[in-house]
Amino acid sequence: MVPRYARPEMSVLWEPEAKFRIWFEIEAHATQKLGEMGVVPESAGKALWDWWATNPKIDVEAIDAIEAVTKHDVIAFLTWVAEQVGDEARFMHQGMTSSDVLDTTLSVQLVRATDLLLADLDGLLAAIKMRAEEHKYTPTIGRSHGIHAEPVTFGLKLAQAYAEFDRCRDRLIAARKEIATCAVSGAVGTFANIDPEVEAYVAEQLGLEIEPVSTQVIPRDRHAMYFSTLAVIAGSIERLAVEVRHLQRTEVLEAEEFFSKGQKGSSAMPHKRNPILTENLTGQARMIRAYALPALENVALWHERDISHSSVERFIGPDATITLDFALARLTGVVEKLLIYPERMQANLDAMGGLVHSQRVLLALTQAGVSREDAYRLVQRNAMKVWESNGALSLLELLKGDEEVTAALSAGELEEKFDLAYHFKNVDTIFDRVFG
Amino acid sequence: MVPRYARPEMSVLWEPEAKFRIWFEIEAHATQKLGEMGVVPESAGKALWDWWATNPKIDVEAIDAIEAVTKHDVIAFLTWVAEQVGDEARFMHQGMTSSDVLDTTLSVQLVRATDLLLADLDGLLAAIKMRAEEHKYTPTIGRSHGIHAEPVTFGLKLAQAYAEFDRCRDRLIAARKEIATCAVSGAVGTFANIDPEVEAYVAEQLGLEIEPVSTQVIPRDRHAMYFSTLAVIAGSIERLAVEVRHLQRTEVLEAEEFFSKGQKGSSAMPHKRNPILTENLTGQARMIRAYALPALENVALWHERDISHSSVERFIGPDATITLDFALARLTGVVEKLLIYPERMQANLDAMGGLVHSQRVLLALTQAGVSREDAYRLVQRNAMKVWESNGALSLLELLKGDEEVTAALSAGELEEKFDLAYHFKNVDTIFDRVFG
Amino acid sequence: MVPRYARPEMSVLWEPEAKFRIWFEIEAHATQKLGEMGVVPESAGKALWDWWATNPKIDVEAIDAIEAVTKHDVIAFLTWVAEQVGDEARFMHQGMTSSDVLDTTLSVQLVRATDLLLADLDGLLAAIKMRAEEHKYTPTIGRSHGIHAEPVTFGLKLAQAYAEFDRCRDRLIAARKEIATCAVSGAVGTFANIDPEVEAYVAEQLGLEIEPVSTQVIPRDRHAMYFSTLAVIAGSIERLAVEVRHLQRTEVLEAEEFFSKGQKGSSAMPHKRNPILTENLTGQARMIRAYALPALENVALWHERDISHSSVERFIGPDATITLDFALARLTGVVEKLLIYPERMQANLDAMGGLVHSQRVLLALTQAGVSREDAYRLVQRNAMKVWESNGALSLLELLKGDEEVTAALSAGELEEKFDLAYHFKNVDTIFDRVFG
Amino acid sequence: MVPRYARPEMSVLWEPEAKFRIWFEIEAHATQKLGEMGVVPESAGKALWDWWATNPKIDVEAIDAIEAVTKHDVIAFLTWVAEQVGDEARFMHQGMTSSDVLDTTLSVQLVRATDLLLADLDGLLAAIKMRAEEHKYTPTIGRSHGIHAEPVTFGLKLAQAYAEFDRCRDRLIAARKEIATCAVSGAVGTFANIDPEVEAYVAEQLGLEIEPVSTQVIPRDRHAMYFSTLAVIAGSIERLAVEVRHLQRTEVLEAEEFFSKGQKGSSAMPHKRNPILTENLTGQARMIRAYALPALENVALWHERDISHSSVERFIGPDATITLDFALARLTGVVEKLLIYPERMQANLDAMGGLVHSQRVLLALTQAGVSREDAYRLVQRNAMKVWESNGALSLLELLKGDEEVTAALSAGELEEKFDLAYHFKNVDTIFDRVFG
């Protein structure tokens, strides 16, 4: 975890205190249920919750001190709780195994992290939608291979991004479901010493599903799917970040990351405004993708479980979620405040002297009865002049002056072929598909 | 693609002829719809389908020969079709761009590949279920960290695998939906020269959804999600493969990959039967996981599209699906024919002289009023003797001979603590959860 | 392996015949040495080499037919050789294990592949050097973050690429050494049934080093290092490919992948020349990088060996080397024939109206005694005018007309600050470092 | 960075104070040299070093507070230094760019980190060597595919590990060289405003080489190679960790991670000693491997540089080196204190009733004139009895009682074939190769 790429609401989920609070809830819910079932005194659960109602501070240092002696984190925690709650606490953890607590806690942490990420995505989607509607009909050149192709609108670019992050949202909801399970099944998952009803109760209280078959651990294919989903979202972040980086290039300059008036004044080179936020996002996306790999390697644990997944998850649990949270929030800010330059978009569109319309003219000539070969020849000889002039000449004007062309198409007909609106007649349809 | 890891039904999907057949279908459906809409003569679509009804052979070499001249694969194909169908064929592809054909074709290929993979998974699930029910109550030692823990049944091991591959099945259905989309939207996705109704028609005919917003290409976050899902499935394959490899170790030998009588006789070392199928699967899993990475990097195409994804997909499209198909089928065979040795499982269970039951005895002693400390001491002094005998001594017998123990627990009570059935009382519950 | 990304000289190394030829050489060298040592008749080696001297055709189908019966590839091969050579052949393979042949063969294949790759790199380096010298002093704008920074020369860009690929060459030589080892050590590497001298002899004959300690297999950390090195080279390929893709963008257009006159004429849109070769290389780089991952996972084989590495290597052995060979050759062609446009470079350099020189003016003003704050203010007020004119105004001219500026710096002094040569005074030094 | 997997000597390298100290050294060396060259007053460098000689505390908070205003980390640092040193400090950083400081600092950090890692490897190698010599002739079964093959010695297993980590050491030395470069070349690497001699001087003072051609940044292929090398080392760590995990399995139990007497007594299940250190190492190896990926993606920066590598390096710089340092130290401890059980190794070796010697008998029979087929039949019929007895019968005894066998081989000859020493005659040779 890199502090500068961390936001408090997410980071706090991964701090010891948050973890201990979930541990307590799991233990207390289980004790409560065991009490109802008559396995332990009903007073035990009550004592735990009564203490919890006092909103006690979790003394992480004290628990750590006990662990330094017991060499066992869960026992240390239980000991500390017992010190606070008193004798009734000895009924905690009955029939359970440490992994029941640890794995279910990881589920709760990931669920809560995911809820933050879903809110992040909502914010990002709202920002993209707002800017998309704002620029629904702002003409800009569509580029394939980095080369001018045909006109699109800036709103369409953003509509694509919206549709992509909306898919990411669906994926994240599915990923949340993957890891929202609870296991309270004992040493090797046989419920030998604890009734499945306890698991069902704890799961319900925590908003989780029961894990159908656990083997001391919750199976790690779930986590592999979860972190792979974060990796896909990172890919989409990178795509939009790269788009902004391209648009901000000196030669393109159709959009820029926000800078305040003050920032502008800070240098003698007013053009040197670097897309550092989106470059930064590009790097973060690489990291989030990388975290999926060890999660995939974690699946093949030995027999009922080995603990090789644990060190991996100490890294990627916080690192992947904290970084993705930060990245989504940063990207939202970039989109919300993006400086968008429609005039420059138009200028770039026009820079080729109208060559982007040559295919429509070609088609029109053939439809007007000119042979395909002749049509090509006519368009091309004018297009080449425009091209060689670096866009200083206008294809439309040249065509209007080419008698072989005007023999087939009138000036008005030619002008109609250079009408941007022709390209945008289905923008509404696409927007309906995406935002409808 | 490695031929020895390829099965024909899947491989054939990725061969040129299969690709050209899908190309034709897309073009013919589009032409048909354009005819209905009056954009091209209705006769054009009819001519195409009439020819298709003759079940013509696709002459891949002839098409390649044309491509060698035109340097454009789609044009080469259209030219060849026109040669076969005649003049009406010139209305094909109107308003479309090559990527409309290429990307929608990839969707169809991946959908068909996925349907084969789903059938593979069904076969694997059936095999696992059969063996799970067969060994529902076959006792075996549960192992955490590779160390004997507490008893489970072999059926439970397989129930876990079933639940895991059942999740994989759900994931694959979701992944199929990700890539089952159709784009027929023209040069930069604006439908400038083709009506969205054509896309809707082609999609419906091919069993695909329309792509809400394409930009010459179908967005690659879809494919990233698809190949990441295959990677997760590979992880689950590796898990079960590693389990078999462990079980077949000389010292464990609780199960073996099938070998025929003939195979057994082939060597002077009858114990040298290597789990080569599951080792092989382990390697294949590594490959399938690796293919997800470039798919993730493919997401961030430049602007409306660049073509860097294409070379990647020429590799991973066939390689990931063909290898996964092969791996699932191989694993199914391994499971179906796995030689399972319940006697050896029991022998291994017993090898520790009953130490796996020590915790139950400990608990029983404390419940019988012995202090926690004394109970530990009593169990431990007997357990250590068993341990030092390498399992030659029996914990139960030693306990029965320990007067301090028998003062608290009768012989019958002690025997009850060594009852395997105690551990299996919830096997039914777990099976109901998984197979119910 | 994707046929369209494969060149014959490399592909042929991975075909069955090439493999069988190496197998023969290993077996024959070993038999020769065993004969010299008196372990087998000296006539055995002679018979093998005599037959080999007849340049016999390897009948792959016949060997495969035998394997279909024996289920063992090396035995099938030995059987076929024995059929050809006669009775003396029965002394082949004495004391050896199949992996002695298989692993040493992989070493030979990788060594030969590497020699082709080294030749590829030499070709690429030569091409880069040629173009670097050609454009040693061609001015172009240096860009950080995609934003104009200060002037560089196109030769410097290429010098960087040269230095990078020269490092790649050193790395590849080191990687070659990693995998250039020979193991002929028997079933578990103890030389129980074969003398280490045989290994030494075979190694020498094949131009390999002996593997100090093999365990049936050559350890896979070597191969992990090898394929990781290919991955790094792929990264460098991507860097240069991305540079070309950027330079070819419509708005930048400082360079283009080669197109013939004929190609130019093929479309009505003369600007639509796509950098498809370098986009293609970008995708190939992703694949070559991905192949390093399973090689890294192959390291941790179980005990003396498991065979999980084998299926991985059937993929990545050919796929990584063939694709890298293709990619290096393609990149060499791109560089050799790259269309470079110095006028456009100059035009882009000038497009900012001289803003790229503002920092030199700033420094000169402070050195002329103007306070830092005043200097900033003076430069900035002129720079902003240039910026707002989109480069139509000239910073130099504005400064010359600013009395506060000219009070400190004469027109001549100002002009000197706009001299590109100032930036290029160390180009020679850098070229000496790189090419010297 | 996960605190529990971090050791102070390595962590401290990545803390702000360490970074600022290196920044100072770079700036002071450069100023010193600029003074000698007459570009700035000689007093400037002196003032800096005089202050430094007072061993001043770096006030990280104060610097951060300045950065909060200036929004620029290097300027903030320079400002703070100026506040401490006084007026002479204004000559610092002349002609330099921030990346000159940042990138050279990263080089210094990685070099220092590597020196720690090299020391770690030395420690690990020493530990392996000690245990290898201790168990040079301790017989143990060699296993291929997890199945008993032929005898090796435990020393040979460790000799393999030694050779592997010795290669890792060489690789790390090469990787150190990759990143031990210094760039002080100005805004786009042209040395426009700073003489190359300054770079040479700074490099020499810091023990670095000059970067032949930098472009504001040091090229990232170097770092890709560096982190890929760490990934390979992680693979070797995993291999040895997996070996220990296998050896500690309940059924194998030929070695165990150290546990104190106290630990042994802590549970009622004396066999439940889990190889948690090596499982933990397995997970850490996955992480270190994963960190190579974003480093590989960092290579293809745009043009002279973009800053996408920076966020990646904030993660992987510390995380990869700190985790590898921890892992090497942990593995060293595991090896040093590994509990090795020669009796159990012998018992496992014998568990197959001598079947591991069957191939030697087979060979001896054929050498004694028995036909290959008969020899097989004779060995096999006895071997099968041993196999079916689960190793209770002895192959040697059965052979001695088989008249057809004894007709060809005397009892003494048979016994000689069961001599372990036969397998170990080249152990010395192999040890000489590895340790010699």
B309: closest chain C residue by CA: C283
The answer to whether residue D65 scores a pLDDT higher than 90 is yes
Q: Is residue A87 located within the same domain as residue A113?
A: no
Residue-level pLDDT at B261: 61
What is the spatial distance between Cα B283 and Cα B294, in angstroms, rounded to a whole number?
Answer: 19
User: Which residues from D are below 8 Å from B273, CB to CB?
Assistant: 147
| Residue B259 parent element (H or E) | none
Nearest to B185 by CA among D411, A159, C198, C235: A159
Q: Is residue A113 part of a domain?
A: yes
Per the structure, the count of domains in chain C is: 3
Give catalytic status of residue B145 as yes or no: yes
- Position B262 scores a pLDDT of 57
Q: How confident is the model at residue D372 (pLDDT cuts 50, 70, 90)?
A: confident
Per-residue pLDDT of D151-201, as tens digits, reads 999 999 999 999 999 999 999 999 999 999 999 999 999 999 999 999 999
- Evaluate if residue C213 carries a pLDDT over 50: yes
Q: Judge whether A135 counts as a catalytic residue.
A: no
Distance CA C202, CA C209 (A): 9
CA distance B1 to chain C (A): 6
Please name the helix (run of DSSP H) or strand (run of DSSP E) that holds residue B198, with its range, or none.
helix B196-206
* Residues of chain A positioned with their CB less than 8 A from the CB of C379: 268
List the subunits that have 3+ CB pairs under 8 angstroms with B: A, C, D
Query: Using the beta-carbon criterion (under 8 Å), do D212 and C142 form an inter-chain contact?
Result: no
CA distances B245 to B238, B280, C52, D96, Å, are 10, 11, 41, 60
Residue A40 sits in the same domain as residue A158: no
pTM score of the predicted model: 0.97
Residues C277 and C387 in one domain: no
In whole angstroms, give the CA distance from residue B248 to residue B252: 6
Burial D408-432 (b: 16+ CB within 10 A, else e): bbeeeebeebbeeebbbebbebbbe
Catalytic member of A43, A107, A144, A145: A145
Contact B142 A168 (CB under 8 A): no
| Chain B CA closest to residue D388 | B270
Of C116, C124, C136, C113, nearest to C165 (Cα)?
C124
Query: Do B104 and B181 share a domain, yes or no?
Result: yes
ipTM of the prediction = 0.96
Both D239 and D274 in one domain: the answer is: yes
Q: H helices of C37-138, where? A: 42-53, 60-70, 73-85, 98-134
Residue A283 touches chain D, beta carbons under 8 Å: yes
Average pLDDT rounded to a whole number, residues C116-128: 98
- The angle subtended at Cα A125 by Cα A124 and Cα A128, nearest 5°, is 85
Distance from CA of D52 to the nearest CA of A (A): 29
When scoring C4, C286, C323 by the number of chain B Cβ atoms within 10 A, the one with the most, hence best to mutate, is C286
Average pLDDT of chain C? 95
- Amino acid sitting at position C104: T
| Residue of C83, C109, C107, C86 whose CA lies nearest to C18 | C109
The answer to the question of residue B431 being in a domain is: no
Residues in chain B with CB shorter than 8 Å from the CB of C308 are: 279-280, 282-283, 286
Tens of pLDDT, residue by residue over A111-143, are 999 999 999 999 999 999 999 999 999 999 999
Q: Is D351 helix (H, G, I), strand (E, B) or coil?
A: coil
Answer yes or no: is A363 within a domain.
Answer: yes
Domain boundaries, position B59: 3-91
Chain B residues with CB under 8 Å of A220 CB are 235
Residue D19 is assigned to a structural domain of this protein: yes
CATH number of the domain that C389 lies in?
A: 1.10.40.30
Q: What is the CA radius of gyration of chain D?
A: 31
Q: Does residue D11 lie within any of the structural domains?
A: yes
Question: Which residue in B266, B267, B389, B410 is the catalytic one?
Answer: B266
pLDDT above 60 for D262: no
- Put simply, the answer to whether A310 touches D280 (Cβ < 8 Å) is yes
Q: Please report which confidence band the pLDDT of residue C265 belongs to, taking 50, 70 and 90 as the band edges.
A: very low
| D352-362 pLDDT, tens digit each | 899 989 889 98
Q: Determine the residue of chain C that is closest to A354 in CA distance.
A: C269
| Interface with C, mutate which of D156, D181, D211, D221 (most C CBs under 10 A) | D221
Q: Indicate if A80 and A219 belong to the same structural domain.
A: no
Residues of chain B with pLDDT under 50: 264-266
The pLDDT score that the predictor gives to residue B264 is 47
Catalytic residue among B43, B98, B144, B145: B145
Q: Does C90 touch chain A (CB under 8 A)?
A: no
| C-alpha–C-alpha distance, residues B238 and A297, integer Å | 9
Domain check: are A187 and A214 in the same one?
Answer: yes
Query: What pLDDT digit, counting tens, does each position of C321-344 carry?
Result: 999 999 999 999 999 999 999 999
* The pLDDT of residue C272: 84
Residues of C with Cβ-Cβ distance to D349 under 8 angstroms: none
Reported as a pLDDT band with limits 50, 70 and 90, residue D265 is: very low
**D268 with B147: Cβ contact below 8 A:** no
CB-CB neighbors (< 8 A) of C220 in chain B: none
Could you tell me which of D310, C265, C175, C108 has the C-alpha nearest to residue A379? C265
Residue D114 lies in a domain: yes
Q: Which among B423, B424, B434 is the nearest to A213, CB-wise?
A: B434
pLDDT tier at A359, thresholds 50, 70, 90:
confident
State whether B146 and A303 contact (CB < 8 Å). yes
Closest to C300 measured CA to CA, from A268, B282, A259, B64: B282
**Predicted confidence band of residue D264 (pLDDT cuts 50, 70, 90):** very low
- Give me the sign of the Cα torsion angle D300, D302, D304, D305: negative
pLDDT tens for each residue of A376-408: 889 989 998 998 888 889 999 999 999 999 999
Is B286 in contact with C274 (Cβ distance < 8 A)?
A: no
Are B331 and B367 in a shared domain? no
Buried b (16+ CB within 10 A) or exposed e, B38-73: ebbeeebbebbbebbeeeeebeeeebeebbeeeeeb
Q: Is residue C319 exposed (0-12), middle (13-18) or buried (19+ Cβ within 10 Å)?
A: buried
- Confirm or reject contact between C299 and chain D (CB < 8 A): yes
The residue among A24, A58, A91 that closes a domain is A91
Q: Chain D: residue nearest A311 by CA?
A: D283
In a domain, A25, yes or no: yes
Q: Return all residues near C278 (Cβ < 8 A) that are at least 6 apart.
A: C240, C241, C242, C244, C245, C248, C257, C331, C334
Last residue of a domain, one of D52, D68, D91: D91
Asked if C156 and C199 sit in the same domain, the reply is yes
Interface test with B, best of A225, A236, A362 (most B CBs within 10 A): A225
The pLDDT value recorded for residue A366 is 87
Is the domain of A238 the same as that of A339?
yes
What are the tens digits of pLDDT across the range C26-44?
A: 999 999 999 999 999 999 9
Closest CB to C426: pick one of D156, D190, D238. Answer: D190
The answer to whether D230 and D320 are in contact (CB under 8 A) is yes
Contacts of C168 in chain D (CB under 8 A): 221
Please give the Cα distance from A316 to A297 (Å, whole number).
13
Domain termination site, one of B67, B91, B115: B91
The rounded distance, in Å, linking the Cα atoms of A139 and A51 is 64
Residue pLDDT, tens place only, D412-435: 999 999 999 999 999 999 999 999
In this complex, do B315 and C4 lie within 8 Å of one another by their Cβ atoms?
no
Check which CATH number belongs to the domain holding C75 and give it.
Answer: 1.10.275.10
Nearest to B246 among A164, A236, A303 (CB): A303
pLDDT (tens digit, 9 = 90+) per residue, D227-242? 999 999 999 999 999 9
The reply to whether C425 falls in a domain is no
**What share of residues in chain D are helix, strand, coil (percent, to 5)?**
70, 5, 25
Q: Which two tokens stand for residue C396?
A: 């130099």
Q: Do B136 and B8 fall within a single domain?
A: no
The answer on B118 and B67 residing in a single domain is: no
